[in-house]
């Protein structure tokens, strides 16, 4: 391969490397937006879950409240029924027994009423929390919706850029020999997206290791493509060197 051909191929590799670095950065930026999207969804889901728990707790208390009201109505009916029997009672013993039955039922009624009031207080507190949490959900949902619209727009822009860059990349790859393409891609994958690096003042800027003087002098002649003996990246030097 002549010196001109080498420089042409290296020029293509350098251009491909710059394009890949831009694409890698674009994908990183895109992932950051996707991560933010997931974070926003998780935040909203957490607050919504808290609201749902409050609603479930209130519904459970309301069901208990309903059962207590039903129990109170039954006991009240029992009291009225027992008191209605009093005028017809003939014996003192039976009269005392019914009075005791009425007194016991009234005490039970009082206990049930106290429990109903306690449930009412619990429901009132939880309902206040529910209203506050509901407002918080609405605020967060509005913010998430607005931010997601911005993110969706940015993601669409990134996708367009990546699509265009991918087309350019294919054009460049078609101009590079198959063996060199495979070598470049292997280095790109193994070296954190950096396969082609500059050699400057006798040093590889990929791994910052000094190059053998003879190798650096060979690089300056630009008649062959060389690799760093330390990191195996493809090396190039700028014309001014």
Where b means 16+ CB within 10 Å and e means fewer, 118-131 reads ebeeebeebeeebe
CB distance 118 to 112 below 8 Å: no
Q: Which residues pair with 196 in a beta bridge?
A: 234
Confidence of residue 2 (pLDDT cuts 50, 70, 90): low
Span 139-154, average pLDDT: 97
For residue 3, what pLDDT is reported?
66
pLDDT digits (tens, 9 = 90+) for 148-179: 999 999 999 999 999 999 999 999 999 999 99
CB distance 197 to 228 below 8 Å: yes
pTM of the model: 0.76
Contacts of 50 (CB under 8 A, 6+ apart): 133
pLDDT digits (tens, 9 = 90+) for 43-66: 999 999 999 999 999 999 999 999
Confidence of residue 222 (pLDDT cuts 50, 70, 90): confident
pLDDT digits (tens, 9 = 90+) for 7-38: 899 999 999 999 999 999 999 999 999 999 99
pLDDT digits (tens, 9 = 90+) for 172-218: 999 999 999 999 999 999 999 999 999 999 999 999 999 999 999 99
């Amino acid at each position: 391969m002549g010196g001109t051909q080498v420089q042409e191929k290296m020029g293509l590799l350098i251009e491909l490397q710059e394009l890949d670095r831009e694409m890698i950065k674009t994908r990183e930026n895109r992932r950051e937006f996707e991560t933010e999207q997931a974070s926003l969804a998780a935040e909203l889901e957490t607050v919504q879950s808290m609201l749902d728990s409050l609603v479930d707790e209130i519904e459970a208390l309301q069901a208990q409240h309903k059962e207590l009201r039903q129990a109170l109505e039954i006991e009240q009916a029992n009291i009225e029924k027992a008191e209605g029997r009093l005028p017809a009672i003939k014996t003192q013993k039976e009269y005392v027994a019914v009075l005791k039955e009425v007194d016991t039922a009234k005490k039970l009624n009082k206990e049930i009423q106290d429990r109903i009031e306690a449930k009412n207080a619990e429901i009132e507190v939880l309902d206040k929390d529910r209203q506050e949490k509901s407002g918080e959900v609405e605020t967060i949902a509005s913010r998430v919706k607005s931010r997601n619209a911005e993110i969706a727009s940015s993601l669409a822009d990134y996708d367009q850029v990546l699509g265009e860059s991918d087309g350019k990349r294919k054009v460049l790859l078609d101009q590079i020999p198959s063996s060199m393409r495979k070598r470049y891609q292997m280095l790109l994958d193994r070296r954190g997206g950096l396969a082609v690096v500059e050699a400057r003042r006798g040093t590889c800027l990929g791994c910052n290791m000094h190059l053998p003087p003879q190798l650096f002098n060979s690089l300056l002649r630009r008649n062959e493509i060389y690799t760093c003996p330390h990191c195996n990246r493809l090396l190039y030097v700028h014309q001014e060197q």
